[in-house]
A and B are shown apart, each in its own frame.
Chain A
């Protein structure tokens, strides 16, 4: 059903309006299969809205999404199993334990009990959550909740991972483990799309990047193409997004 030549994720004319606010404005973006793709942008740029539409969580007003050549909105039963999703800022079923939440995600994906049990234990160990596997998710810290969400995204071995701020609130040791898992995933042909505000992280992990601002793609391509002549991604990001704000001096904040 999938097209091996097709981009992992293809967004065409994706548009979303909330009342009078145009959150996403006709975004076109192709994310190559096998890439580690970073989506960066200032707060309110439309990253989360775009990723929500790209993963079936939010109906676009216009435009389409294809996952490995399969139209997400007309054939969700084929496209969604290809995706692993970690959204940002949403609740989880927090009256389940961490282990149960992974099992739940696996069973929703149609995996048999034995496979789920094995993968659940592997994921808990890989993400350093073995001790917390029997604790209710409602008692987890923000970082642990993020890690268990990532485990849910991975349990069915998807072809494309879409992760919204996967490293937020995660401690450095766990972040290292997650980086290892994601790099290995890409190394074996998987595709990772992640959004982040941390330019250094995107530069370190990603081979492709898109800069989103004002609901549009301002630049997209390989890391070198987007960086252009700038020293680093952050410099190019500020150049693209613009920093026209007047720097107000908070004199009242000074202690001396």
Chain B
């Protein structure tokens, strides 16, 4: 069964590459990048080998802990995991979780990122060879277990995230997750604010890494250091802890797979709605009058409050200010005015995040396409739905930041800059969404999944929209930066320039994307299907 399941995974990838050549190019570029990294890894391994066992152990523990957190968080906020072997695809075959688990477990380790990280950890682990064969064996075993935990933790986090966001309490779950993230970051932020980064590193880093070495985040990686010090019992229990964590993660994943085999995501649980929100839309900041625009706007407002894929985007975006205030400001001991970055980056992230918005409709797009030449109306409705919540959020955040900094004289410039960045980034994203749409998780599928190669296609779209924004956003921000560095009078210029650029970017995005939408109407469905 393992060979059959893994075979399906590999054959699917091969067929997709044969069908769409650019997937092969993207995979080739990924491989090339990995090859470029190889000499650096070998060099890093040599540097590590020259360090003492304690420094080497600490560096590896820190690296693996950060990698593990990245693997758990990135699929939830940035791009999904390969879901070629999404367990729900096995539902009709009547197989049990026990039957398919070995196959999908092996397949999870056969993705390019998993293979690369495994290889990289293996190379860095060789730095323990100077401490003898037995220590090297412990290091390789510890790193292998840590790698296993990293890959399985990503699967479990994506599966749990999808399950929670698909529940009827999705909104509550999203905000609870944000509150938990805030609560987790708050003590760190408090200590960093109180003592400063340098003092924290001097006083707390060593104990922190030692503590991590006793947790599933770093136990396996810390084991060779204990073995090198002759503490074989310490090494053994750390390997045991890492192995136990691996078993636990696998059991948790198997539980979610078993659940997915019998419980489809994306059912509404028979929920009834009293009001027709297309004809009686919820009042928002923007309420379009044109019937088609208003209909699209109302539909997207419903998606923003109930569709797990949109809620996942929302949660990812809102994590930004939490991270900035909790970690970046205290770590770098920044002046309070640096907090102005938060609403500006938030505006750019929200806008940029909609660069594949049209593809979220998947093939349901047909209804918009057959209803006329509606490019302008559809794109205006889509952008209005995003702006309906994003604009108030950005303005409130900007005012909160100004209140925190105590510099109300900066308000006009910052508000203008934020409006400008939001409008321009939404406009660029709208155009990107119709020029280079790529396959997004379908309605009802896991919001954290992506098909083979979609990650690569997404990368092209993400890079293109990022490059355009990297050129336009600084132009919008220039007057505001001048108001902070040259003369306060530039603040009013920033206010006017931002408002004009925001409205122009927004309107230009609607117009441009709408025209392209109409011109590409016969190709859009195939592009997102």
Interface residues of A (CB under 8 A from B): 19, 52-53, 55-60, 73, 76-77, 80-81, 83, 85, 87, 90-97, 99-100, 103-105, 107-113, 116-117, 120, 134-136, 138-139, 152
- Assembly CA distance A138 to B271 (angstroms): 10
Please judge, given known A-B contacts A76-B373, A100-B278, whether A108 and B367 are in contact too, CB under 8 Å.
yes
Chain B residues 357-392 with CB under 8 Å of chain A are: 361-364, 366-374, 377
Tell me, rounded to whole Å, the shortest Cβ–Cβ distance linking B280 to chain A: 9
Q: B373 — nearest CB in chain A belongs to which residue?
A: A77
Determine if A134 and B272 form an interchain contact, defined as CB atoms under 8 angstroms apart: yes
Complex Cα gap A58–B369 (Å): 10
Question: Which of A85, A100, A111, A116 has a CB less than 8 Å from the CB of B277?
Answer: A100
Q: Within 8 Å of chain A (Cβ to Cβ): is B70?
A: no
- Tier of interface size on chain B: 35 or more
Bound CA–CA A19/B361 (angstroms): 25
Pick the 10 closest A-B CB pairs, nearest first. A59-B522, A107-B295, A136-B268, A90-B363, A108-B371, A103-B278, A91-B364, A77-B373, A85-B370, A107-B291
Chain A residues positioned under 8 Å from B526 (CB to CB): 58
Measured CB to CB, the closest approach of chain B to A81, in angstroms, equals 6
In-complex Cβ contact of A107 among B269, B292, B363, B373 (8 A): B292
Stretch from B35-43, B252-260, B299-307 contacting the other chain:
B299-307
Q: Are A59 and B295 in contact (CB under 8 A)?
A: no
Is the CB–CB distance between B295 and A91 below 8 Å?
no
- Residues of the A chain whose Cβ atoms lie less than 8 Å from the Cβ of B272: 97, 134-135
Q: Are A104 and B19 in contact (CB under 8 A)?
A: no
Are the CB atoms of A108 and B443 closer together than 8 Å? no
Quick one: given A58-B526, A91-B363, are A138 and B372 in contact (CB under 8 Å)?
no
Which residues of chain B have C-beta atoms less than 8 A from A134's C-beta? 272-274
Bound state CA distance, A109 and B374, in angstroms? 9
Are B270's CB and A139's CB within 8 A?
Answer: yes
Q: Say yes or no: B372 contacts A80, CB within 8 Å.
A: yes
One of B362, B442, B522 near A56 (C-beta < 8 A): B522
CA distance A100 to B299 in the complex (A): 9
Instruction: Give the docked Cα–Cα distance between A186 and B259 (Å).
Output: 48
Residue of A nearest to B529 (CB): A90
Residue contact B525 to A58, C-beta cutoff 8 Å: yes
- 11 A-B contacts (beta carbon < 8 Å): A57-B370, A57-B525, A58-B522, A59-B521, A77-B373, A90-B364, A100-B273, A100-B277, A107-B291, A111-B291, A135-B268
Task: List the A side residues contacting B296 at CB < 8 Å.
Answer: 108
Q: Is the CB–CB distance between A110 and B444 below 8 Å?
A: no
The total of Cβ contacts below 8 Å across the A-B interface reads 136
Q: Nearest-CB distance from A219 to chain B (Å)?
A: 28
Nearest CB to that of B519 among chain A residues? A59
Query: A108 and B295: CB pair below 8 A?
Result: yes
Residues of B in contact with A (beta carbons under 8 Å apart): 19, 266-274, 276-279, 291-292, 294-296, 298-299, 302-303, 306-307, 361-364, 366-374, 377, 442-444, 518, 521-523, 525-526
* B residues near A87, Cβ cutoff 8 Å: 366
A116 to B281, CA, bound (A): 14
Chain A residue nearest to B268 (CB atoms) is A136
Q: How far is the CB of A25 from chain B (nearest CB, A)?
A: 18
Within the complex, which residue of B19, B298, B370, B523 is in contact with A55, where a contact is CB–CB below 8 Å? B370
| Sample of 4 more A-B contacts, CB < 8 Å, known A59-B523, A80-B372, A96-B299 | A100-B278, A107-B279, A111-B291, A117-B279
Interface of A is mostly: mixed
Contact check, A108 vs B525: say whether CB atoms are below 8 A apart: no
- Could you tell me the distance between the alpha carbons of A58 and B366 in the complex, rounded to whole angstroms? 10
A110 / chain B contacts, CB cutoff of 8 Å: 291-292, 372
CB < 8 Å neighbour of A92 from B277, B364, B377, B518: B364
Note all chain B residues with C-beta closer than 8 A to A117. Answer: 276, 279
Inter-subunit contact B366/A138 (CB<8 Å): no
Question: Smallest CB–CB gap between B522 and chain A, Å?
Answer: 3
Tell me, in angstroms, the Cα distance from A60 to B522 when the chains sit together. 8
**Distance of A127 from chain B, by nearest CB (Å):** 17
Question: Which residues from chain A contact B366 at a C-beta distance below 8 Å?
Answer: 57, 85, 87, 90
Neighbouring B residues of A136 by C-beta, 8 Å: 268, 271, 273
B359 CB → nearest A CB, Å: 12
A254 to B274 CA separation, bound complex (whole angstroms): 53
Task: Output the residue of B19, B303, B363 with the most chain A CB within 10 A.
Answer: B363
Question: CB distance B521 to A96 under 8 Å?
Answer: no
Chain A positions within 8 Å of B362 at CB level = 91
How far apart are the CA atoms of A129 and B257 in the complex, in Å?
35
Q: How far is the CA of A107 from the CA of B298 in the complex (A)?
A: 11
What's the nearest-Cβ distance from chain A to residue B413, in Å?
40
Least distance between B170 CB and chain A CB atoms (Å): 11
How far does the alpha carbon of A57 sit from the alpha carbon of B19 in the complex, in Å?
A: 21
Q: How far is the CB of A32 from chain B (nearest CB, A)?
A: 22
Q: CA separation between A172 and B521, bound complex, in Å?
A: 36
Cβ A108 vs Cβ B364 within 8 A: no
Question: Contacting B276 at CB < 8 Å: which of A52, A83, A85, A99?
Answer: A99
Q: How far is the CA of A154 from the CA of B371 in the complex (A)?
A: 12
Q: Are B523 and A93 in contact (CB under 8 A)?
A: no
Minimum CB distance partner of B296 in chain A: A108
Minimum CB–CB distance from B250 to chain A (whole Å) comes to 31
Given A73-B522, A107-B291, A95 and B267 touching (CB < 8 A)?
no
A77 near B372 with CB under 8 A, answer: yes
Residues A80 and B302 in contact in the complex (CB < 8 Å), given A104-B367, A110-B292: no
Q: Which residues on B sit within 8 Å (CB–CB) of A85?
A: 366, 370
User: A52 vs B303: C-alpha distance in the bound complex, in angstroms?
Assistant: 27
With both beta carbons as reference points, the residue of chain B lying nearest to A139 in the complex is identified as: B268
Q: Which residue of B lies closest to A94 (CB)?
A: B443
Chain B positions within 8 Å of A99 at CB level: 276
Closest to B274 in A: A134
Residues of B contacting A19 in the complex (Cβ-Cβ under 8 angstroms): 19
Measured CB to CB, the nearest residue on chain B to A90 is B363
Q: Contact between A76 and B372 (Cβ–Cβ < 8 Å)?
A: yes
A153 nearest CB neighbor, chain B only: B370
A108 to chain B, nearest CB (A): 4
Chain A residue contacts of B307, Cβ below 8 A? 95
Closest-CB distance, A18 to chain B (whole angstroms): 9
Q: Give chain A nearest CB distance to B216 CB in angstroms.
A: 37
Q: Which residue of B lies closest to A73 (CB)?
A: B522
Residue of A nearest to B19 (CB): A19
The complex places the Cα of A58 from the Cα of B525 at a distance, in Å, of 7
* Set of chain A residues within 8 Å of B444, measured between Cβ atoms: 94, 138
Whether the Cβ atoms of A107 and B294 lie closer than 8 Å is yes
Complex formed: what's the CA distance from A152 to B371 in Å? 10
* A113-B279 contact, Cβ under 8 Å, with A80-B370, A94-B444: yes
Q: Which residue of A59, A100, A104, A108 is within 8 Å of B372 (Cβ)?
A: A108
**How far is A90 from B299 in the complex, measured between Cα atoms in Å?**
18
